[in-house]
């Protein structure tokens, strides 16, 4: 099956996002059994390892709804951007329905991201393949240059470009970026593939707290962790097995933080 993954550019970091060396947070689909790299780039110079605890880097003046993702490894406060209303409203709707409660972070890749939101992960048996489930619909892409894949970014998984040329998002599956620190030359190389244009503040964020800029303009970023970046690091460090599923289940509960 083809997971909702982040499409094929993790080779930039020598990482293997999916079971078959795919570098994308893509949702698995029932139509295919093999995952393929859709894009490749020359490997950059060795990246600096991110520190165990990074400084929070919240976008100043960004408006939105706060939600709380609770796990056994700690809590993450997430700001859902008002600038991506379709994703914000859908996420809030699912939270109010209790959709995410008891689901797992079913796919974890150190120095890349942690992925969850598959309803099939509730009470999933050990070794059960996950990543196919969803609410039965997708969400229109909402790409905005001010929302990018820095560490702590909340973004929507999706099917790959060949099956999903409009890059519509999964109705429920999401990932939270861990990533690595990026040098300016490496960022310049990635821009050739993504076409992204960065502000000085965005460049500084990638250099100081890190992220996954090779995913910019590829997946909709619709929020960011504003408290609890260290929780991402704790979850990303968990030992994983087949399909990058943690050997110990990491359940979540997501609630609305009332204004």
The domain total for the chain is 1
How confident is the model over 84-130, as pLDDT tens digits? Answer: 999 999 999 999 999 999 999 999 999 999 999 999 999 999 989 99
Residue 1 is assigned to a structural domain of this protein? no
Residue 36 is assigned to a structural domain of this protein? no
Residue 127 is assigned to a structural domain of this protein? yes
Residue 172 is assigned to a structural domain of this protein? yes
CATH of the domain at 224: 2.40.100.10
pTM of the model: 0.82
Q: Which of 5, 7, 23 is nearest to 106 (CA)?
A: 5
Residue 239 is assigned to a structural domain of this protein? yes
Quick one: pLDDT band at residue 61, thresholds 50, 70, 90? confident
């Amino acid at each position: 099956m083809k997971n909702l993954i982040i499409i094929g550019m993790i080779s930039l970091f020598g990482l293997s996002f999916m079971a078959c060396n795919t570098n994308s947070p893509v949702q698995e689909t029932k139509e295919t059994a093999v995952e393929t790299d859709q894009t490749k780039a020359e490997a950059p110079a060795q990246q600096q390892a991110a520190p165990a605890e990074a400084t929070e880097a919240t976008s100043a003046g960004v408006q939105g709804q706060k939600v709380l993702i609770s796990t056994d490894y700690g809590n993450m406060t997430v700001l859902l951007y008002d600038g991506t209303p379709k994703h914000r409203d859908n996420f809030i709707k699912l939270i109010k329905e209790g959709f995410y409660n008891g689901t797992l972070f079913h796919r974890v890749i150190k120095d890349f991201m942690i992925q969850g939101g598959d309803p099939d992960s509730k009470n999933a048996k050990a070794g059960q393949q996950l990543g196919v489930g969803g609410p039965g619909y997708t969400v229109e892409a909402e790409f905005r240059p001010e929302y990018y894949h820095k560490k702590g970014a909340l973004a929507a998984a999706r099917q790959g470009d060949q099956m999903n040329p409009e890059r519509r998002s999964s109705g429920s599956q999401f990932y939270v970026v861990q990533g690595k620190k990026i040098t300016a030359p490496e960022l310049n190389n990635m821009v050739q593939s993504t076409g992204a244009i960065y502000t000085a503040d965005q460049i500084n964020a990638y250099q100081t707290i890190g992220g996954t800029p090779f995913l910019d303009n590829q997946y909709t970023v619709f929020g960011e962790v504003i408290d609890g970046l260290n929780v991402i690091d704790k979850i990303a460090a968990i030992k994983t097995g087949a399909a990058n599923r943690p050997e110990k289940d990491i359940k979540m509960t997501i609630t609305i933080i009332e204004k």
